[in-house]
């Protein structure tokens, strides 16, 4: 796992800061003796590069590591398209939050050197598979690392649907929709909808109702192996959308059945050795830090209290 000889670079957003980081990264890797390959759009961003463009058909046998340069959106897109390969992914953060992309631009070379030397944490993350069936025929499929969201699209009207988990009826609901999130996605859209933050290591799925027309409807956390089924109300006048990771849309109609379950293959994300989930939450979400009490002062307080 630590023998990274062939490294593929992926970036799909044409921003000056991303192109600059790409060129710096290419220089660092090639001068360090690594074989660098580029994804097609990434090669176009770099411009006059003599580096080879990798072929997706032979990717699993020709690449040891994939580095994604961009924000969490870039990583989400890369994970969905590359999860079928057993290749770990590492992110260089050129976006905003950076829950999935850990390498800092100002420390890129030094952090990258440590990771490539084997100083890293490997994290397994599962995705969700979703399919939409209409009159017994599957009419659309998708996958998501963060979340699958049923919503009315551009309409502001509520929709009706029924929720089943492992074949058991849970409830019928009138709301703006439902967020079905992995632990990875619990700090994304599900969080803004009032859902709980889940540690990435949990084998669980959270279902967060969006503005339900009842005060008693609350987020539900279920096991990661649960089969989730949403039946779109046949009386709906809307044609709700099913959106994966906020990036790809599937159109549904009244009477459709939406099925969601854990994807069989997981993705391996690489983090720097100092990565700490709770520190990331403190930094990205603005949580309070320590009060600055050292151990000696803490011991004195404990003696006085006791």
Provide the annotated active-site residues.
72
Would you say 181 and 195 are in contact if contact means Cβ atoms under 8 Å apart?
A: yes
- Of 44, 46, 34, nearest to 8 (Cα)? 34
Cβ contact 156:278 at 8 Å: no
The terminus-to-terminus CA distance of the chain in angstroms comes to 51
Q: Where are the alpha helices (DSSP H) in the chain?
A: 16-31, 40-46, 59-62, 72-82, 108-116, 189-192, 277-285, 295-305
Place of tokens 């027309």: 213
Q: Is 269 left (phi over 0), alpha (psi -120 to 50) or beta?
A: beta
Q: 221 by DSSP, 3-state: which?
A: strand
Yes or no: say if 105 and 17 are a contact pair by the CB < 8 Å rule. Answer: yes
Q: Is 231 helix (H, G, I), strand (E, B) or coil?
A: strand
């Amino acid at each position: 796992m630590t023998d990274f000889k062939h490294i593929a670079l992926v970036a799909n957003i044409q921003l000056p800061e991303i192109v600059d980081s790409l060129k710096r990264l290419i220089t660092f890797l090639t001068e360090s003796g690594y074989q660098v390959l580029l994804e097609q759009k990434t090669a176009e961003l770099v411009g006059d590069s003599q580096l080879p463009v990798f072929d997706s058909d032979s990717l699993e046998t020709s690449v040891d590591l994939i580095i994604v340069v961009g924000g969490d959106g870039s990583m989400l897109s890369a994970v969905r398209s590359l999860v079928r390969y057993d290749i770990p992914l590492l992110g260089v953060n050129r976006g905003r939050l950076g829950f999935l992309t850990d390498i800092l631009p100002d420390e890129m070379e030094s952090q990258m050197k440590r990771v490539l030397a084997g100083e890293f944490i490997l994290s397994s993350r599962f995705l969700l598979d979703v399919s939409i069936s209409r009159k017994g025929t599957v009419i659309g499929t998708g996958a998501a690392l963060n979340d699958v969201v049923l919503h009315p699209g551009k309409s502001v009207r509520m929709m009706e649907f029924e929720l089943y988990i492992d074949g058991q009826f849970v409830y019928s609901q009138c709301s703006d929709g439902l967020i079905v999130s992995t632990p990875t996605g619990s700090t994304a859209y599900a969080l803004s909808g009032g859902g709980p933050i889940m540690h990435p290591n949990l084998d669980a799925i959270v279902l967060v109702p969006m503005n339900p027309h009842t005060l008693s409807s609350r987020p539900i956390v279920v096991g990661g192996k649960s089969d989730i089924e949403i039946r779109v109300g046949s009386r709906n006048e809307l044609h709700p959308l099913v959106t994966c990771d906020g990036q790809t849309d599937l159109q549904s109609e009244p009477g459709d059945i939406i099925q969601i379950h854990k994807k069989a293959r997981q993705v391996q994300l690489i983090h720097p050795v100092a990565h700490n989930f709770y520190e990331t939450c403190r930094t990205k979400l603005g949580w309070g830090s320590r009060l600055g009490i050292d151990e000696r002062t803490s011991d004195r307080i404990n003696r006085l209290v006791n």
